[in-house]
């Protein structure tokens, strides 16, 4: 399997809000438990029971890379991800401002930005998520699930409509 062909896909309806992904991400990368060190974040609307996991989309034309004044962010096509070169990074946090997904984070304790690196191809968040709210899929297959769900709704609506005629 070519690593560059795989992307993270989140199905937020399946997210139970447990935040185990945040825990294992921080432990894997930084060897500590600390949600502000997680590259993946679960945004919650507790009063409605909605939880949305958000992570880096590894954009082809990444706004963070474009905006970075130190040219510290580049896309690694082989690994299918956008990477930070800490030798060049000046810690200005422009990337944090411009990322449309809020997926760039700044770790206050280390004074460094962090972002998802897909765990070099074996993302731990995917591994630990029981409901598969976050999955690793082939890039070309990202729309299959959505398509199937839309088709399901179409069938249900059709069935309902045809029962009125009959």
Partner 1 sequence: MALNRKIAYIDLTTGGIEIKPIPLELRNKFIGGRGLDAYLLYNHTKQGVDPLGPDNVLLISGGLLTATCASATTRTHVMAKSALTNMLGSTNMGGFFAPELAWAGFHHLVIRGKADKPVYLFIHNGEIEIRSAKNIWGKSVTETQWAIREELQDPEVKSLVTGPAGENLVRWANVMTGIKNSGGRTGMGCIMGSKNLKAVAVRGTMDVSIAHPVEALEYNKRFIDQITSSKVNQTMGTIGTPFIWGATNSWGGVRTRNFQFNQCEYSDDLEPERIDEIALETVGDNHMAACFACQVHCRGKHRLPSGPYKGRYSEGPEYTSQGAFGAEPDCKHADTVLTCNYLVNEYGMDTLETGSMISWAMELYEKGILTREQTDGIDLCFGNDEALIEMITRICYRKGWLADTLADGGLPAAEKIGKNAFDYMVQVKGMHNLHSDERGTPALALNIATASRGSDHLRSRPAIDLYHLPEPVLRKIYSSPIPYDGPLSSEQTHYEGKPWQVFWHENCYMAVDMLGICKYHTMFLGATHPNFEDWSRVVQLNTGLDFSPTHIWEAAVRANMIERLFNLREGMTRYDLKKGEMLNHRYFDEPLRRGAPGVVGRKIDKQKFIKMVDEFYEHKGLDERGVPKPETLKKLGLENEPSHLL
Q: Enumerate binding residues for partner 1 (CB under 8 A).
A: 13-14, 16-20, 23-24, 27-28, 30-37, 46-49, 51, 108-109, 124, 127-128, 130-131
**Angstrom distances, CA of residue 38 to CA of 28, 50, 112, 149:** 9, 20, 13, 30
**Angstrom distances, CA of residue 13 to CA of 101, 132, 146:** 18, 10, 12
The distance of closest approach from Cβ of residue 84 to partner 1 in the complex, given in angstroms and rounded to an integer, is 20
Nearer to partner 1, 127 or 146 (CB): 127
Nearer to partner 1, 23 or 56 (CB): 23
Please say whether the beta carbons of 99 and 59 come within 8 A. no
* CA 143 to the chain's CA centroid: 16
Please say whether the beta carbons of 108 and 36 come within 8 A. yes
Nearer to partner 1, 78 or 111 (CB): 111
CA distance 19 to 52: 10
Nearer to partner 1, 24 or 136 (CB): 24
The distance of closest approach from Cβ of residue 42 to partner 1 in the complex, given in angstroms and rounded to an integer, is 11
The distance of closest approach from Cβ of residue 140 to partner 1 in the complex, given in angstroms and rounded to an integer, is 25
DSSP annotation of 25: H
Nearer to partner 1, 30 or 141 (CB): 30
């Amino acid at each position: 399997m070519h690593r560059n062909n795989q992307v993270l896909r989140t199905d937020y309806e399946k997210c139970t809000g447990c935040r185990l992904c945040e825990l294992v991400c921080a432990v894997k990368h930084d060897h500590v438990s600390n949600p502000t060190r997680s590259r993946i974040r679960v945004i919650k609307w507790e009063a409605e029971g909605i939880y949305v996991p958000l992570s880096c989309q590894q954009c082809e034309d990444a706004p963070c890379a474009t905006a970075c004044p130190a040219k510290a962010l580049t896309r690694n096509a082989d690994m299918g991800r956008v990477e930070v070169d800490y030798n060049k990074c000046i810690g200005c946090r422009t990337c944090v401002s411009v990322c449309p997904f809020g997926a760039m984070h700044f770790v206050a304790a280390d004074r460094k930005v962090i972002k998802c690196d897909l765990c070099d191809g074996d993302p731990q968040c995917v591994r630990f998520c029981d409901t598969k709210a976050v999955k690793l899929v082939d890039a070309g297959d990202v729309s299959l699930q959505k398509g199937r769900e839309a088709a399901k709704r179409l069938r249900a609506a059709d069935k309902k409509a045809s029962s009125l005629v009959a």
